[in-house]
Amino acid sequence: CGLVTDDPILYRARVAGDGQALFEIATGRQLTYAQLDLRIARCAGLLSAMLGARRDGARVAMLARNSMDSIVLAFACQRAGAIYVPLNWRLNAAELRPILADCAPALLVHDEQFSATVASLADADAEMAVISTADGPTGLAARIEASLPMKPVSADADGACVLLYTSGTTGQPKGVIITRRNAFFAAVNFSFVGEIGPGSVALCDLPFFHTIGLIAVARTTLMLGGTLVVSDRFTPARTLAALADRQHAITHYFAVPQIALALRNDPAYSAAALSGLHALFVGGAPLTQALIESYLADGVALVNGYGMSEAGTVLHVPIDRRAVQDNPGSVGLPAPLLDIRIVDEEGREVDEGEIGELWLRGPAVTPGYWNKPLETAAAFTDGWYRTGDLGRREANGFYRIVDRLKDMYISGGENVYPAEVEAALASHPDIIDVAVVGIPDVRWGECGVAYVVLRPGAAATAETIAGHCVERLAAFKRPARILFVETIPRTASGKVQKHVLRRLHSDETLQPQA
């Protein structure tokens, strides 16, 4: 299909306009689908009036916490032919500058709390219009209300509607182009794995600047006619209160592993608060088995999922207690509209159970990176997107993610997957966080260095931890060095930035041990 009017909110407004679309926790404001549709139409009218003929393909960036109007702006961009670029508000001005230079937005919308950052960014670009979300006549809300609704028009299915910057775990964030077709099929994929429909009520406190928040949770819920409960921040107490609130009757909640852990460890945690959930969805980074089991013991189905900015949701454990129980450490089955291959270095499919790189193909997969033809060419082979992640498929069709290809190292001729070493270390009761990186080693080629964060007051030493490893890991997998640190460098979404750790060793080669 070339031309479509894929406008999920318009569709929902026509079939069930009275249904509740949004609830904003910070203010208590609500919108039905008909009201949301009108607000999007007015916001599209605003974009049209501001950007005029330039609006087609124009980038509209947003530096704001989750709100109802972030959703309005995102869908208004799609309706007006512009490209929504949600920015990571945890980044500072120096980190945002290259992103803005890359996407060159015609308009930047921001929360008042980021106005100092925006002032220093706007200096560099006199062409960029700026609007605040603050109350008042020049604020976004007032301007939306004062604008004439724009009539929906046909749009190119292969035109971009969102530019989503990756987490920057392995280097500089890259702008992933999400076309209307990609967004539609990513939401279809997630509607299957999440079992989302008109009766679903999804709580989203994950930021809208990542694929999980914006596409999996927000877009899927709204496209399928559920209710999206928007929260502008995560705190364990706030989330637990929202989950326990029977007035909302939340059925779907999504977390990254660090959030699921923080919830479980919070003094206010009770299994009863989560008893209304269809499932607790966790994804985005490796998950410990201990956490899965602690939720299972409470009767909460914590289902692990794997995905990325470039393709949305890819693999997910089915929402079924048995599936969770019987497949520890698994990321489950492929989403319906995805082809998955596991290949060796030559791009040949490997046998079942063998480790290889995951390649993906399907209508939810991005056509490439904004302004980055070289990176795009490097990431695709014959129409397949090369994820850079290593995995394997088991006999029952379930998949496992082993590690990132970039993080694997070779010690004495053997492949070492740091994620496996980290899991062994994390099972030590005194260790609360850990990251392992491979660095050059005179004798073995490469060797592991473990960065370990101990529980306050813990008695463990490098020797006792080494002993713990001896019981669990073959000699070539054991870290050659254990370093104690206060924290481990992470991205905004809680992923370990191993390139930062590796850089600490850039001038170093480990000498033979006694």
**For binding to ligand ATP (CB under 6 A), which residues are involved?**
166-171, 173-174, 210, 283-286, 304-309, 331, 387, 389, 401, 404, 495
Taking CB under 5 A as the rule, which mask of x and - marks residues 89-128 in contact with Mg ion?
----------------------------------------
**For Mg ion, the closer CB: 280 or 285:** 285
Tokens of 45: 């009218």
**For ligand ATP, the closer CB: 208 or 306:** 306
Task: Calculate the CA 22 to chain-centre distance.
Answer: 21
Distance CA 496, CA 112 (A): 30
Residue that the structure tokens 């006792």 belong to: 464
Q: Which does 213 bind (CB under 5 to 8 A by kind): ligand ATP, Mg ion, none?
A: none
- Smallest separation, CB 308 to Mg ion (Å): 6
Tokens of 252: 């779907």
**For ligand ATP, the closer CB: 166 or 179:** 166
- Smallest separation, CB 500 to ligand ATP (Å): 12
Task: Calculate the CA 236 to chain-centre distance.
Answer: 19
- 311: phi then psi, degrees, rounded to nearest 5: -140, -5
Residues in the interface with Mg ion (CB under 5 A) total 1
- Smallest separation, CB 275 to ligand ATP (Å): 24
**For ligand ATP, the closer CB: 248 or 490:** 490
**For Mg ion, the closer CB: 166 or 304:** 166
Ranges of H-type helices in 68-197: 68-80, 93-103, 115-122, 140-145, 180-194
Distance CA 460, CA 450 (A): 14
Q: Which does 389 bind (CB under 5 to 8 A by kind): ligand ATP, Mg ion, none?
A: ligand ATP
**For ligand ATP, the closer CB: 47 or 423:** 423
Distance CA 170, CA 384 (A): 20
- Smallest separation, CB 497 to ligand ATP (Å): 9
**For ligand ATP, the closer CB: 174 or 478:** 174
Instruction: Name which of residues 7 to 66 contact Mg ion (CB under 5 A).
Output: none
Q: CA separation (Å) from 107 to 40, 95, 265, 434?
A: 17, 19, 41, 41
Contacts of 74 (CB under 8 A, 6+ apart): 62, 84, 86, 162, 208, 214, 218
- Smallest separation, CB 369 to Mg ion (Å): 10
- Smallest separation, CB 169 to ligand ATP (Å): 3
- Smallest separation, CB 74 to ligand ATP (Å): 18
Q: CA separation (Å) from 21 to 102, 219, 230?
A: 33, 11, 10
What is the chain's Cα-based Rg? Answer: 23
**For ligand ATP, the closer CB: 88 or 251:** 88
Q: Which does 231 bind (CB under 5 to 8 A by kind): Mg ion, ligand ATP, none?
A: none
Instruction: Pick the piece of the chain touching Mg ion (CB under 5 A) from 112-120, 165-173, 219-227, 317-325.
Output: 165-173
Q: For the chain, report the end-to-end CA distance as a whole number of angstroms.
A: 66
- Smallest separation, CB 288 to Mg ion (Å): 22
Tokens of 6: 């894929």
- 374: phi then psi, degrees, rounded to nearest 5: -70, -45
Tokens of 179: 């076309």
Residues that bind Mg ion (CB under 5 A): 166
